[in-house]
């Protein structure tokens, strides 16, 4: 049975409401395209880019094994409320956050956000690929994250950096 990863990178609607226009989540798309290319046992569940009602979205995500949240100043509060609700609905779901708004330097990160399993420190492509590849094992074995160990923030070191952008598959083509 394939395992399911979902990703959340919500934005605001752009332009006139009748156009129903949104920026598509390029960052989430690149992370997912890379991770899924290297982990064929996984499939994409949901890719959330609109601010739909929180409970409706949580119900769509609750069947995921892993949900990644790409977090910025404009979606921080929505993401955190949604992530907390998904964790309530499915305590086994791994909640992984990343992006510039996650307070990875805060030693109280997981005291304040106990529903969060880990935060990615830099780029997510390699980290998410390794996370899917070693799913079910300790998150502490995956470099590039801050892991929630019973409320304690544990740094797993640095992940390798992507030095050749040609390694990244196009989210539009995949």
Residue 141 domain flag: yes
Residue 174 domain flag: no
- Strand-pairing partners, residue 48, are 8
Provide the sign of the torsion angle of the four alpha carbons 78, 79, 84, 87, taken in this order: positive
Residue 173 domain flag: no
- Greater confidence (123 vs 51) lies with 51
What's the CATH number where 94 sits?
Answer: 3.40.50.280
Contact 30, 168 (CB under 8 A): yes
**Spatial separation of the C-alpha atoms in residues 99 and 121, rounded to whole Å:** 8
Q: What angle do CA 128, 62, 107 make, to 5 degrees?
A: 55
Pairing of strands 145-149, 118-120: antiparallel
pLDDT at 33: 87
**For 115, what's the count of Cα atoms within 13 Å in the CB-facing half-sphere?**
18
pLDDT at 18: 74
Q: Which domain range does residue 129 map to? A: 3-167
At 36-49, the pLDDT tens digits run 888 899 999 999 98
Closest alpha carbon to 160 in 131, 117, 135, 124: 124
Residue 68 domain flag: yes
Closest alpha carbon to 9 in 20, 24, 57, 124: 24
At 87-118, the pLDDT tens digits run 999 999 999 999 888 999 999 999 999 999 99
Contact 31, 128 (CB under 8 A): yes
Token couple for 98: 């990343």
- Greater confidence (66 vs 19) lies with 66
pLDDT at 167 over 90: no
Report CA 96 to chain centroid distance, whole Å: 5
pLDDT at 25: 73
78-108 in b/e form (b: 16+ CB < 10 A) is: bbbebbbbbbeebeebbbbbbbebbbbeeee
At 50-71, the pLDDT tens digits run 999 999 999 999 999 999 999 9
pLDDT at 58: 98
Q: How many domains does the chain have?
A: 1
Residue 16 domain flag: yes
pLDDT at 55: 98
């Amino acid at each position: 049975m394939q395992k399911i990863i979902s990703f959340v990178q919500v934005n605001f609607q752009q332009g006139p409401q009748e156009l129903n226009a949104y920026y598509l989540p390029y960052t989430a798309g690149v992370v997912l395209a890379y991770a899924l290319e290297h982990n064929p046992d996984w499939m994409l569940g949901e890719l959330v880019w609109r601010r739909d009602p929180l409970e409706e979205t949580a119900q769509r995500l609750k069947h995921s094994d892993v949900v990644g949240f790409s977090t910025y100043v404009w979606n921080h509060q929505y993401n955190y409320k949604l992530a907390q609700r998904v964790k309530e609905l499915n305590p086994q779901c791994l909640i992984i956050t990343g992006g510039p708004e996650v307070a990875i330097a805060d030693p109280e990160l997981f005291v304040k956000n106990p529903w969060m399993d880990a935060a990615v420190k830099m780029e997510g492509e390699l980290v998410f690929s390794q996370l899917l590849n070693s799913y079910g094992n300790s998150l502490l074995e995956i470099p590039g994250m801050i892991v929630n160990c019973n409320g304690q923030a544990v740094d797993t070191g640095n992940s390798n950096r992507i030095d050749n952008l040609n390694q990244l598959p196009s989210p539009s083509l995949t």
